[in-house]
Chains A and B, each alone.
Chain A
């Protein structure tokens, strides 16, 4: 069964600190893996998108890595800001014809002053 699991479920860090969120998936083969940021009461916004052949992708203070051998991805946030407080969702697009996405349950990040 195609699954995407994220850890930790929630995380609290101090402003200015770095953090890393984890995503393990069993989806295979897959077309791409994405990280989204979802603010409370808003729709998800794309941070990074990586194909199976890419190892890393950056977007400002966000850096995603992908290890297709171990089926793991991580999202590293550098110098966290209060506005980084949100849910971060790992999403995998299987390589099939359904166009459906497989969502992780998300990591809720709280950045405190």
Chain B
């Protein structure tokens, strides 16, 4: 199947700093990518939809100034957690799909963010 690469897999940062997470579709182009957050023993919660060449669409309750999304190319979307706080510690996962309709989503490996 298609491959979505997410980097880094783990990151530890100090409170107040920013962290950037990359999501790449390695063998297909993705006009739309999705960013999820997952708390322990819970399912994935959609944070935002990343659209190539345009602004991301954020879900209700997700601060767009806190979680900056850039989708500058058809194979790369980035999520930047700005001014991170311990409550931002979580597992972040991206997904992408070949084609337009998100018919089959492929997920990245996830990024474990720990803010100390």
Given contacts A43-B107, A45-B107, contact A106 B43 (CB under 8 A): yes
Q: What's the minimum C-beta distance from A21 to chain B, rounded to whole angstroms?
A: 14
Q: What's the minimum C-beta distance from A12 to chain B, rounded to whole angstroms?
A: 15
Q: What's the minimum C-beta distance from B106 to chain A, rounded to whole angstroms?
A: 7
Prevailing SS type, chain A contact patch: strand
Of the stretches A65-73, A74-82, A97-105, the one at the interface is: A97-105
Of all chain B residues, the one with the shortest Cβ separation from A93 is B102
A84-97 to B contact mask, C-beta < 8 Å, 1/0: 00000101010000
CB contacts between A and B, total, < 8 Å: 55
Of all chain A residues, the one with the shortest Cβ separation from B2 is A46
Of all chain B residues, the one with the shortest Cβ separation from A44 is B107
The yes or no answer to A1 lying at the interface (CB within 8 A) is no
CA distance A103 to B93 in the complex (A): 14
- In the complex, are the beta carbons of B41 and A43 less than 8 A apart? no
Among A46, A103, A104, the residue within 8 A (CB) of B104 is A46
- Could you say which residues of chain B place their CB within 8 Å of the CB of A100? 34, 46, 49, 102
| Interface of B toward A, CB cutoff 8 Å | 1, 4, 6, 32, 34, 41-44, 46, 49, 91, 93, 95, 97, 101-110, 112
| Interface of A toward B, CB cutoff 8 Å | 31-32, 34, 36, 41-46, 49, 89, 91, 93, 99-101, 103-106, 108
